[in-house]
Amino acid sequence: MISYLKSIADLNRVNIVEIKNWADMDKYAQNSEYEGLVVSQETYENAQKLNKNREQKGLKPLVLIVIPLIKDNNNKRFSSTLIREKLFKE
């Protein structure tokens, strides 16, 4: 994923971390240098909880960027991994 993002954007201002669970999310929430968080529709609710935790600790809420889910003709969810695989095959 990171190599793909580097190929389309300047990442000098960006810190990309993988958040696997609530403990990871809460750990990164404590860093006042973070300004935003990219989340899926599925994880948006947890991101809102994270912002409440930040505000309780006197930190600014993160800007939440929500990536919508995309489904194929069979009503199955497209993943970013699947899309990237198809892009790089061509």
Q: What is the pLDDT of residues 25-69, one digit of tens each?
A: 777 778 888 888 888 888 899 899 999 989 998 999 999 989 888
Using a cut of 0.85, tell me whether the model's pTM lies above it.
no
Contact assessment for residue 66 and residue 60, using Cβ atoms and an 8 Å cutoff? no
Rounded Cα distance between 50 and 28, Å, is: 9
**Which amino acid, one-letter code, is at 46?**
N
Q: What is the pLDDT of residues 40-52, one digit of tens each?
A: 888 899 899 999 9
Q: Could you tell me the CATH superfamily of domain 17-89?
A: HUPs (3.40.50.620)
